[in-house]
């Protein structure tokens, strides 16, 4: 957005999320969107993604208010960018897959059953409510004797967070793969995807069988191999936000911290609150917006790195399980696998150009320039791409839906994200393990709220095959 006009759009951004309208921009090239994505008052979901269309153009999805749509339609009328509004004001709850009522797992006494251990016609009929996520985990713990751990920091609304872990016994140094979900409240189905996947692994391991997700099958030997790698799961990173979103159908993204404001200014974007170049006004070029200092923004970065209990808890898992090598943070809804770095384009020739070097402060985040690119060792880049490609192939396999993989920087830079924090720890904290961090954007439909049971179940099938292929490739590359 032209910077002289940003102030007017900041004022418009103070509306409630229920007034956001799904829409998309269309342009001849991704470069046409660069000016638009720098406006931190716009809501592009997890990250702006320029997707090719059948007509040879590109589209960029967003959630805007009607005032914002009217403004950009006029402002970009002669720029080659067109604005297209969805037929509905937003994803209405009545049109989306319902949230489960009650407790289908009966206080941890009834096991979750995933799609990989059932017939091809089986389906799951509703999204897990927040209490059911925990009840399902309790059932896995009670039945299979797997590990369970409560985390030390309570959320703003007083909830106790927890993780569970399986496959490598009680020795926490034997756990190498870390999945987290639900950091953005509105991205429904993320906790379901990982809970049902773990239910499948444990059931198939016990029964001596394999798994089948649509057109993709796995042997029992592969199941055992993945479990033995040691898997840690943080199934609901943002429980306050999830509870609010499920009760209001408001497309709520952030947590529910009210210290910085109320209404649409409630909450911090947890995926901008990690200690990786968090102080973006200092660390990045002034023309970029990797996060936001405004509480009204969907990418508000908080008051300090790790200001939020949820991000403190997420990071604490690395201390409890010091040999984690691979991390996937589960999001929707683009249809992409993202690998580091997210702050600038990758390069493997100039080690001094790195996120710790203050000499490059104020120069990061401009895509396509030669002033700064983020250093990544060549072998690490090869490994990161290889596992991303494997996960993408797994996502495509069950039903042939469209997925891709790319460097996380995409159309614009980000700061304080889970994947980059995971990868950065090796250089920022002496003596810690190297972790390859990923963001999985499931749901290539673009729906935060699955619009049908078919879509919801396809998301489970796709992600579960993606998890399997990712884990198998991680094992091949190396867990130590």
Banded model confidence at residue 216, pLDDT cuts 50, 70, 90: very high
- Is 60 exceeded by the pLDDT of residue 463? yes
Q: CATH homologous superfamily for 97-480?
A: Zn peptidases (3.40.630.10)
Minimal CA–CA distance to 342: which of 434, 411, 425, 435?
411
How many CB atoms sit inside 10 A of residue 434's CB?
A: 14
pLDDT in tens, 13-51: 433 444 678 888 999 988 888 888 877 778 888 878 787
Annotated active-site residue in 187, 441, 455, 473: 441
Both tokens of 349, joined, read 């020739």
If you average pLDDT over residues 219-239, what whole number do you get?
Answer: 98
Asked if CATH classification 1.10.10 holds for the domain at 3-90, the reply, yes or no, is no
Kindly tell me if the per-residue pLDDT of 232 is higher than 70.
yes
Same fold, 3-90 and 97-480: no
CA-CA-CA-CA dihedral for 372, 416, 336, 436, to nearest 10: 80
| Domain range list for the chain | 3-90, 97-480
**C-beta separation of 165 from 179 below 8 A:** no
Q: Is 441 a catalytic residue?
A: yes
| Torsion angle of the four alpha carbons 288, 291, 293, 298, in this order, in degrees rounded to the nearest 10 | 130
Is the Cβ–Cβ distance between 341 and 413 less than 8 Å? no
* C-alpha distance from residue 168 to each of 33, 174, 218, 242, 333 (Å): 46, 6, 20, 30, 32
pLDDT digits (tens, 9 = 90+) for 420-436: 999 999 999 999 999 99
| Residue 94 binned pLDDT confidence (cut-offs 50, 70, 90) | low
* Greater pLDDT, 150 or 30: 150
Rounded CA gap, 436 and 177, in Å? 10
């Amino acid at each position: 957005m032209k910077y002289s006009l940003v102030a007017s759009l900041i004022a418009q951004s103070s509306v409630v999320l229920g007034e956001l309208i799904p829409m998309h921009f269309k342009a001849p090239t991704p470069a046409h969107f660069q000016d638009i994505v720098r406006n931190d008052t716009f809501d592009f979901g997890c990250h702006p993604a320029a997707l090719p269309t059948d007509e040879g153009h590109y589209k960029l999805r967003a959630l805007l208010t009607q005032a914002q749509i009217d403004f950009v339609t006029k402002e970009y009328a002669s720029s080659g960018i067109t604005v297209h509004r969805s037929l509905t004001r937003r994803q209405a709850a009545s049109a989306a897959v319902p949230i489960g009522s009650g407790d289908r797992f009966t206080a941890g006494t009834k096991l979750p059953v995933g799609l990989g251990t059932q017939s091809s016609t089986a389906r799951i009929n509703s999204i897990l409510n927040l209490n059911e996520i925990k009840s399902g985990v309790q059932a896995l713990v009670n039945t299979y004797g797997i590990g369970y751990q409560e985390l030390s920091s309570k959320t703003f609304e007083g909830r106790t967070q927890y993780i569970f872990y399986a496959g490598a016994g009680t020795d926490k140094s034997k756990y190498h793969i870390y999945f987290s979900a639900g950091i953005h409240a509105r991205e429904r189905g993320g906790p379901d995807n990982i809970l049902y996947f773990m239910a499948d692994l444990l059931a198939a391991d016990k029964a001596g069988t394999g798994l089948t997700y649509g057109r993709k099958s796995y042997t029992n030997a592969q199941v055992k191999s993945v479990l033995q790698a040691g898997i840690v799961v943080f199934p609901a990173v943002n429980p306050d936000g999830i509870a609010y979103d499920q009760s209001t159908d408001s497309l709520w993204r952030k947590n529910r911290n009210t210290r910085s404001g109320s209404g649409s200014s409630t909450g911090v974007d947890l995926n901008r609150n990690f200690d990786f170049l968090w102080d973006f006004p200092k660390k990045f070029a002034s023309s970029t917006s990797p996060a936001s200092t405004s509480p009204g923004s969907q990418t508000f970065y908080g008051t300090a790195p790790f200001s939020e209990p949820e991000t403190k808890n997420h990071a604490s898992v690395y201390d409890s399980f010091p040999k984690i090598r691979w991390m996937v943070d589960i999001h929707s809804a683009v249809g992409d696998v993202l690998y580091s770095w997210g702050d600038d384009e990758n390069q493997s020739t100039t080690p001094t150009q790195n996120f710790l070097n203050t000499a490059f402060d104020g120069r990061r985040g401009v895509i396509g320039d030669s002033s700064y690119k983020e250093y990544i060792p060549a072998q690490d880049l090869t490994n990161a791409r290889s596992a991303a490609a494997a996960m993408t192939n797994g996502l495509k396999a069950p039903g042939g839906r469209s997925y891709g993989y790319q460097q996380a920087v995409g159309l614009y830079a980000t700061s304080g994200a889970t994947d980059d924090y995971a990868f950065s720890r090796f250089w920022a904290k002496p003596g810690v393990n190297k972790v390859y961090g990923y963001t999985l954007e499931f749901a290539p439909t673009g729906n935060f709220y699955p619009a049908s049971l078919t879509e919801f179940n396809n998301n489970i099938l796709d992600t579960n095959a993606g998890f399997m292929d990712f884990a198998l490739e991680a094992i091949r590359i190396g867990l130590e």
